[in-house]
Amino acid sequence: MATYIVKPNQNLFDVALHLYGSIEGIFDLMISNPELSMTSELSFGQELVYHEEFIINASIVNEFQKQNITPSSGSRHVYFKRPDRDLIFLIGVNVDMALTHIKVAGEGEMLVDWGDNSNLESIILTSSVQQIEHYFDSEVKKRRIKIYGNTNTLKFTQLDTTGLGGSLLLCRPVVVDEYVCRGRGYSLTGLALLNGAYKVDLSNGIISDLLPIANMSLQELNLTDVYYMTDEVLDDYLVYVKEHYNDRRPCTVYLTTTPSERGLEAIDTILREPEWNISDTWKFYINNELYIPKTIENGTVTE
């Protein structure tokens, strides 16, 4: 006897086809698993035992293995859910994803509509980071994850949306201390609605515009190994900070892309301005080296 782990969206006929090469294998499944019937619904991760030598059509089984194909026809339409909380985040995710996750810490309760037929999931935030995983139970042409909550009581000390694999759209302001989204290539539009954010990690991402976060008063910004869609993206951000400094906090910025002369001039101005470096000082690390601004002595620019 062998053990089979049910995959997402599989029904009994899918498993029989996968294991035996024919839906007639369903009879061996029911004999081997007495709790099953022709109308049994399977759940992802469920364990089934079967006779591995009882193959009806070996060519089909071999082709599934060769092409890395898993029969999965248990798709359903997604039913609508209407919670009594405010919609805070809307995330568009890749419909081919079977597993997604989000990491959160903070206080308050958030409700997650995973965009499938599962019930709304209530998550109570704690001081420790939780990784919330979800396996989708439906197939759709377009999937949207929705996160609801009371913005008066819901506060994130850390929000990591890397594992959601989709574009994040904020629908209303919410308190987030640290925001992380690594290795993604989506728009940053709306991140300014993260109230009080002091740390943003966008490392390994693909970024077309940094100006959506240009007014955020950050203490740390991680842009290591970022690919910029144009050469002006980083320079435009640095120049904007220089020209719209206001009351922002000094920030430590991590880069692996060296700005052009225009961007470096903006950095020099930021680092040389005494009023911008009183309580703390700005720091720019480029390829792990602390950048030292140019100084002007007797009309001569020196390093």
* Residue 66: strand, helix, or coil: helix
User: Domain residue spans in the chain?
Assistant: 2-67, 86-302
Quote the pLDDT of residue 82: 75
**What pLDDT, on the 0 to 100 scale, is given for residue 300?**
39
Instruction: Write the class of the CATH domain 2-67.
Output: alpha beta
Burial label, 66 (beta-carbon count in 10 A; 0-12, 13-18, 19+): exposed
Say what the pLDDT of residue 165 is: 83
The pLDDT assigned to 219 comes to: 97
pLDDT of amino acid 80: 66
3-class SS string, 153-199: CCEEEEEECHHHCEEEEECCCEEEEEEECCCCCCCCCCHHHEECCCE
Q: Give me the sign of the Cα torsion angle 215, 146, 42, 59.
A: negative
The stretches in the chain having pLDDT less than 70 are 67, 73-80, 295-303
pLDDT score at 114:
92
